[in-house]
Chains A and B, each alone.
Chain A
């Protein structure tokens, strides 16, 4: 069963916006019934960013208004917990625990990463994040992290495998990221469109008839089942 949401951290969301691949969020919803979700701290970091200031706030608000991005505020988290058969007292307790966990994580890692991982752990949801040092630091404490930890190119690769993204789209996205001095991984240095074919993506479509193992580690793969069309 697919997770309801994939939680997204600031750096990944910004790269999606810079690469003008926001449409992948709608694709994810339509093809897999999975929404991208952000914690309020990521909304804050994207709306008023230390690098881009308020440049991407209008884009973010548009996606939020269209429902392509869900903000994990307390009512939404409570809804997700109730959907996991938690009683009202359990929901209250888990909300308090989540806040405490988030604060604990935030002493060591950036606020966006801290709250995203904490929400991922509490709700057993994967997280998109490019801050691998957050994973290393949290695991060394030791604290659990969300599993798996996905990268923006995992989503692009999934859409590419599905035929929703072309080689030209990927080349264009890489160029846009480079223009903004955003980090583009080394494997995309030459012929990005071709490189994505060989990319070891952590986000895959379920093979028909297959029963993939549940991800348990940060580097495990997440398999998504496509929406059944009648």
Chain B
């Protein structure tokens, strides 16, 4: 068995997925697995990006490679977390997308911030001797202060993505066809060193929920990533006391960063009595706070603003209709009028799902914009854009990119 075959066999996924990920035929994959043909460097590069395995191992001819010795700890952690085939596929595909994002940023924005400085500052302000929930709350306050996001009395959900991306953190919100895995946090390689990539599962989740998930993953990036190499958040039944220290800290960080006490106090000062909110007003508060209903109720209770009975009532009021009426985040981009969008071209892009070779990944809006800009600036070709956007024939037109290179080849 070749090292290439041994590495692939260590994952609980079938051969068609590897062919899909690499973008090759089954025949070629079989040739490389059996050692009939050498593994091309470009294939080793793709798998090295997706799996984190050194490329030299994948192209080696020696047969004594032990996957456990070369697989990054994140995959062992995935095994420990009992993640199944769908999650393994999603992690590999998301890592590949993150690598493409990183590659694109390297040629379009070569002088980017290093997020590790910001994260180290947050970490320094937290006393590790404190209980986990206190660490999370202190970390959240430090993050809001250092970032400047905590000054206002409005939610941070609409600015958090842009802020983190500007600090060099990669953010992916993409459907993972399984609700169990809410998100994960992995380091992705960069020319200036690894940077954290926060992934939020957008499969049947709301924008409000993903705000929490992203901040939760950010907490893992700040506190846990160096030691753990990867952190997976598998949904729990809502028993927040049963979580381990890292999870409690991340939960507290996300809750306090997204719904700090002063934000709820400001809302009460504007005349909204949290304990007695009716659906219409509760929807307005959710729209202003950018947090999902359950988290809002839990935060109000943890901050001592309402009792447990009121929290239960707030968490279970039916506000779906009212929320859709007062927040376009609850309606989704498709139902938002073009004149209310910062980038109206988003509507033409559709779901931004990849089609070739990997199907079904949702591309981040800033990533798509970077690709389009890079084509416009002559930094990449339309063919490269098709690779980055992972679209099949015709998919580029949806993004306003035209293939005219063949006509140009005969232009003179």
A interface residues (Cβ-Cβ under 8 A, vs B): 11, 39-41, 43-45, 47-48, 50-51, 54, 57, 61, 73-75, 99, 102-103, 106-113, 115, 129-134, 136-137, 140, 149, 151, 153, 183, 185-187, 219
Contacts and interface: CB of A to CB of B under 8 A. Distances in A.
Nearest to A110: B383
A29 to B, nearest CB: 22
A219 B412 CA distance: 9
20 contacts: A41-B40, A44-B22, A44-B42, A47-B28, A50-B391, A61-B27, A73-B37, A102-B42, A107-B103, A108-B107, A108-B379, A108-B384, A109-B380, A109-B383, A110-B383, A110-B387, A130-B406, A132-B408, A134-B381, A183-B406
Contacts of A132: 405-406, 408-409, 411
B19 interface: yes
A131 B383 contact: yes
Contacts of B405: 130-134
B409 A137 contact: no
Of all A-B residue pairs in the complex, the 5 with the closest CB atoms, nearest first, are: A110-B383, A185-B410, A40-B40, A51-B393, A132-B408
Given A41-B42, A44-B43, A133 B381 contact: yes
A151 B392 CA distance: 23
Nearest to A113: B383
Contacts of B356: 50
Interface residues of B, number: 40
Contacts of A74: 38
B382 interface: yes
Contacts of B41: 99, 102-103
Contacts of B27: 47, 57, 61
Contacts of A133: 381-383, 404-405, 408
Interface string B388-412: 0001110000000000111111111
Contact of A131 (B22, B381, B391, B412): B381
Interface string B340-381: 000000000000000011000000000000000000001111
Contact of B392 (A51, A61, A136): A51
Interface residues of A, dominant DSSP: helix
A211 B384 CA distance: 39
Contacts, number: 121
Given A57-B25, A57-B27, A110-B387, A151 B410 contact: yes
Contacts of A47: 24-25, 27-28
Contacts of A109: 380-381, 383-384
Nearest to B39: A40
B240 to A, nearest CB: 44
B45 interface: yes
A102 B44 CA distance: 13
Given A43-B28, A110-B383, A113-B383, A73 B38 contact: yes
B86 interface: no
B291 to A, nearest CB: 39
A54 B357 CA distance: 12
A108 B106 CA distance: 11
B25 A40 contact: no
B54 interface: no
Which of B23, B357, B411 lies at the interface centre, i.e. has the most chain A CB atoms within 10 A of its CB? B23
Given A40-B43, A107-B103, 7 more contacts: A73-B38, A109-B384, A110-B383, A110-B387, A134-B381, A134-B383, A151-B409
Interface string B213-228: 0000000000000000
B98 interface: no
A50 B390 CA distance: 9
B410 A103 contact: no
Contacts of A73: 37-38, 40
B224 to A, nearest CB: 32
Nearest to B59: A74
A38 B75 CA distance: 35
Contacts of A102: 41-42
B71 to A, nearest CB: 23
B409 A131 contact: yes
Nearest to A75: B38
A70 B186 CA distance: 40
B171 interface: no
Nearest to A200: B412
Contact of B23 (A39, A44, A57, A130): A44
Contacts of A57: 25, 27
B386 interface: yes
A23 B411 CA distance: 27
Contacts of A112: 383
Nearest to B104: A107
Given A106-B42, A132-B409, A133-B405, A48 B382 contact: no
Interface in B73-105: 103
Q: Which of A50, A75, A103, A130 has the most CB of B within 10 A?
A: A50
Contact of A50 (B28, B379, B382, B393): B393
Output the residue of B23, B40, B103, B378 with the most chain A CB within 10 A.
B40
B19 A48 contact: yes
B387 A44 contact: no
A130 B356 CA distance: 21
B42 A110 contact: no
Contacts of A48: 19, 23-25, 28, 357
Interface string B21-51: 0111101100000000110111101000000
A150 to B, nearest CB: 10
